[in-house]
Amino acid sequence: MVKQTDSPHRVGRTGDAPVATKSPVRQITVNEGQVGQRIDNFLLNILKGVPRTYIYRILRKGEARVNKGRIKPTYRLENGDVVRVPPVRCTDPDTGKGKPGERMMATVRDSIIYEDDDLLALNKPSGIAVHGGSGVTHGAIETIRCLYPNAPYLELVHRLDRATSGCLLIAKNRVMLLRLHELLQRGAIDKHYQALVKGEWRGELCSEALTRNVQQSGERMVTVSTNGKSAQTRFTPQRCFRDTTLMDVELYTGRTHQIRVHAAHAGHPLAGDDKYGDDAFNRRMRHDGLKRLFLHADSIAFKITETGRKYRIETPLSAELEAIVAKLQPRQQK
């Protein structure tokens, strides 16, 4: 594995008091490699460590402009566009405001498992969001941008739930991002997960359509619906225990909470799932030491058509999840 040697940028300090620094106004001309990129993602790359909410604010106020005009966050850049990047005041990373804290930086740095000129792969820990938002200031992508201050382009290829651990891909250039998105759309990326589910399950192909709803409390939920988007998940048992089954899960689509909702709909909710799971089952699993959702993205494989290069990235279960499996009692033979 190629390791990144750049040190994250740190702002100055006087004694123990954090020092705020303010960047100058910049006028950046869009080049061919940046064409088609959304303005919000472009600014996130330029303004390392600045929260996504701040990016939306400067766009809403018209402080960030394209060709001297206001634009929406969804605006896609064209070749030759001139982007006005306003002054941004950044605080010390240890304050937890301007940049991720040292603990977050170290955790994400240690999770990097693969790197080449086009791609980064993380073994994302459970509990870390892939990006900021919804009360989360910094996610994996914002932290990676701080760890790689000289990288001109870093974008998420796909997403994982905050509670899910495992393989997360980040493109280091737009060409790679577009290639991988095209493979995802064709279903040409082989993605497998490990999940511990309730009960004895022989597995099946779940094809129920899914839709996202927002409850009165504001919580986002995904439900099975004939009017929803198509979704396919294949569950295959790997190891059988007395009242649980360790499943290999293959995703053919990538809907929000797809594995969790399909498993719950089939009557076999995931262990530790506090949104779609079984409360009594979760309490029993907590008693056995499970403190998180038992869902882990353990492998991803694909071939870049244009170059013929093949990738296979594997992330085995963490010691924490392996310890849970070791405690499970084997199923008695009938």
In the annotation, is 161 catalytic? Answer: yes
Q: Which of 81, 161, 273, 298 is catalytic?
A: 161
SS (H, E, C) the chain: CCCCCCCCCCCCEECCEECCEECCCEEEECCHHHCCCEHHHHHHHHCCCCCHHHHHHHHHCCCCEECCECCCCCCECCCCCEEEECCCEECCHHHCCCCCCHHHHHHHHHCEEEECCCEEEEEECCCCCCCCECCECCCHHHHHHHHCCCCCCCEECCCCCCCCEEEEEEECCHHHHHHHHHHHHHCCCEEEEEEEEECCCCCEEECCCEEEEECCCCCEEEEECCCCECCCEEEEEEEEECCEEEEEEEECCCCCCHHHHHHHHCCCCECCCCCCCCHHHHHHHHHCCCCCCCEEEEEEEEECCCCCCEEEEECCCCHHHHHHHHHCCECCCC
Residues annotated as part of the active site: 161
